[in-house]
Amino acid sequence: MKRFKVRRILIEREAEKDSLSKKIIGKLPNIPIERAGSNELALRDDIEEMDKDSLRLIHYKGEFLKPCPGTRRYICCGYQILNVGINCPMECTYCFLQSYVNQPSLRLFTNLEDELNVIGEIIDNQPDRIFRIGTGEFTDSLALNYITGWTDFLLPFFSVRKNCILELKTKTSFIKDIIKSSYRKGIVAAWSLNTSRIIANEEGKTASLKERIISARECQKAGFVIAFHFDPLINYPGWENEYEEIVQLLERYIDPASIIWISIGSFRYMPELKWRILKRFPGTHIFNGEFVTGLDGKQRYFKPIRVKMYANLSERLKKWHDNLGIYLCMESDDVWEQSLGWSPKNSSALSNYLDNRVRMLMRT
């Protein structure tokens, strides 16, 4: 998998003094730089195509550590998001970030390293709480790491803390930087997985399925705990056999004993996102299924379809290994019961379940 190319750097004036800005510009000495205020550039013509070959360096004024934006109507895992930036250079047709039409470009928050002490205080002041933290919600954790050097300062920062883990979720094979690091404790290397057909047709500019799994194996060999995320499952003719092929590859390459968890979720989207997806990707087939409006206002597959897909995949995974920490993403109690045969009943219980996985595999 090749590194992504940057066409230009857009730097907001307040970001110029940040240490990460200086590092990024130093790594891209021949890339043209445009300086602008925080509200400029949002009206440019390249908004429609997301301007994914431009880096926008931003001095972020919000909170860097935030809870996952779940809904009370579904069971949520209690994940904490480390907000390092918005957008990634890959082109997944279903990506919800396309709805952020006023935030084009690869937006990097350049005061992250300078604000780590604030995050550290939050974690250290609650020593009895497990913080499950990830950087892969609004961007890919590793796609731009060769430019940002995120892992150079995030791995040592989180690894020394006893009550947190940092999950680096990616669709790339860019593992060189984390493997060369000496930090392992408290770090989870994670991959989003989908069928080869979905990756080829709906996940543009990402690593192949085999590349992702081989990368996970290499991280295991290097001493990392790993995780996988089957989200979104896509319903199409032949999905059963093709998701089965993923499990077969996992059986071939991965040691299940050091998998901390595997999440499963189905394709869902806000109604207003559909027109934008079809405009950017007119050849997509992700809307071919039967959808219904969920309790969160999102369109999702009819319940029987979701239950069948979850049950099929989870049963196959359990045949491989019976202690994988499988859980569902944003589903109701009855869907849990019907598809997995058990339910945590509420978000607090699911959070406790995953916290115990952390204690068992990483902090004992």
Q: Is residue 48 part of a domain?
A: no
In this predicted model, what pLDDT tens digit does every residue of 70-128 receive, in sequence order?
888 899 999 999 999 999 999 999 999 998 766 889 999 999 999 999 999 999 999 99
Residue bearing the bigger pLDDT, 258 or 36: 258
* 36 within domain boundaries: no
Domain that holds residue 90: 59-361
What's the CATH code of the domain at 263?
3.80.30.30
* Residue 8 resides in a domain: no
* Residue 148 C-alpha from the chain's centroid: 17
DSSP 4: P
Is residue 53 in a domain?
no
270-318, pLDDT tens digit by residue?
999 999 999 999 999 999 999 999 999 999 999 999 999 999 999 999 9
Pairing of strands 259-266, 225-233: parallel
Pairing status of strand 8-12 against strand 54-58: parallel
Number of domains the chain contains: 1
3-state SS class at 178: helix
In a domain, residue 2? The reply is: no
Phi, psi of 143 (to 5 degrees): -60, -35
> 3-class SS at 348?
helix
Query: Would you say residue 23 lies in a domain?
Result: no
In a domain, 309, yes or no: yes
pLDDT of residue 101: 64
Is 11 a member of any domain? no
User: Residue 353: exposed, middle, or buried by beta-carbon count in 10 A (0-12, 13-18, 19+)?
Assistant: middle
